[in-house]
């Protein structure tokens, strides 16, 4: 398992039987591969599908059946199709249990930026703002630092904010943080990762939960 798969497998452990789940692009998409066999969830795709199944073999690709990342998918028994307005009514209306999203930055109180980069033309937002607004629970999956080695967990966002909504859980390659009213709580370190490393690579302040899970093993 590479680190991105590790993050996805850890996020999959948060899903509960019966959850309606929306997976963002990138690491979140990988979560589908690690859902425990005794947990049945229903994947919602904002372009109008409830009940998304695995990626098809090349010979079974249907050009009319794609996910929100415009990649070919299949559907499972019991799935349904609907138009975009209905799909976003489901999201805004609070009918999606969990959204798992990638981010560019997270601030010290748990708000995220994931739709635009400063200094570049802002020409895409997609469904990011809708998902943050309406999903009952938001799990962020991300590498702890950017490709340039900068902390993605920052005091203040320098990228444009996606929503005032505070996320619920942050899962990185190094650690897991729960977001509470008083800020970020470290609840878990990844195997082989020290508290010092997380402190060094996290710009925003965080509290250490009383019984944080040091090096909890995550298996697929």
Partner 1 sequence: MSKLITCEEAVKKVKSGSRIMVGGFGLVGSPLSLIAALAQSEVKDLEIISNNLGEPGRGLGVLVRQKQVKKAIGSYFTSNPEVVKAYQDKELEVELLPQGTMSEAIRAGGAGLGGFYTPVSVGTKIAENKEERTLNGKKYVFQEPLKANFSLIKAKKADQLGNLIYNKSARNFNPMMATAADVVIAEVDEIVEVGQISPEEIVTPHLYVDYIVVKGGK
Positions in the binding site for partner 1 (CB under 8 A)? 45-49, 62-66, 70, 75, 81-85, 87-89, 91-92, 116, 121-130, 133-134, 160-164
Cβ proximity to partner 1: between 134 and 202 the closer is 134
Q: How far is the CB of 3 from partner 1 (least distance, A)?
A: 26
Catalytic residue selected from 14, 46, 59, 164? 46
CB neighbourhood size of 75 (10 A): 17
Q: How far is the CB of 85 from partner 1 (least distance, A)?
A: 4
* 164 assigned to active site: no
Q: For tokens 């990988």, what's the residue?
A: 30
Q: How far is the CB of 54 from partner 1 (least distance, A)?
A: 16
The token pair that represents 217 in the structure block: 């093993």
Length of the chain measured in residues? 220
Cβ proximity to partner 1: between 136 and 214 the closer is 136
Judge residue 60's burial from the number of C-beta atoms within 10 Å of its C-beta, 0-12 exposed, 13-18 middle, 19 or more buried.
exposed
Cβ proximity to partner 1: between 41 and 91 the closer is 91
- Burial string for 9-40 (b: 16+ CB within 10 Å, else e) reads bbbbbbbeeebbbbbbbbbbbbbbebbeeeee
Catalytic residues: 46
């Amino acid at each position: 398992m590479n680190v991105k798969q590790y993050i996805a497998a850890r996020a999959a452990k948060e899903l509960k039987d019966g959850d309606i789940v929306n997976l963002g692009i990138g690491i979140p998409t990988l979560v589908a591969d690690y859902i425990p066999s005794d947990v049945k969830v229903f994947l919602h795709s904002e372009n109008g599908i409830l009940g998304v199944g695995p990626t098809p073999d090349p010979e079974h690709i249907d050009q009319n059946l794609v996910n929100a990342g415009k990649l070919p998918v299949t559907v499972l028994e019991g799935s349904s199709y609907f138009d975009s307005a209905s799909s976003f009514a489901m999201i805004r209306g609070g009918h999606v249990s969990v959204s798992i999203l990638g981010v560019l930055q997270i601030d010290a109180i748990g708000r995220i930026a994931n739709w635009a980069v400063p200094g570049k033309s802002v020409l895409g937002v997609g469904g990011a703002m809708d998902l943050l607004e309406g999903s009952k629970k938001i799990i962020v999956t991300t590498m702890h630092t950017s490709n340039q080695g900068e902390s993605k967990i920052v005091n203040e966002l320098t990228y444009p904010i996606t929503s005032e909504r505070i996320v619920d859980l942050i899962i990185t390659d190094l650690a897991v943080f729960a977001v509470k009213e008083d800020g970020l709580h470290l609840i878990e370190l990844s195997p082989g990762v020290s508290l010092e490393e997380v402190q060094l690579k996290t710009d925003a302040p965080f509290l250490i939960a009383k019984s944080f899970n040091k090096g909890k093993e995550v298996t697929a």
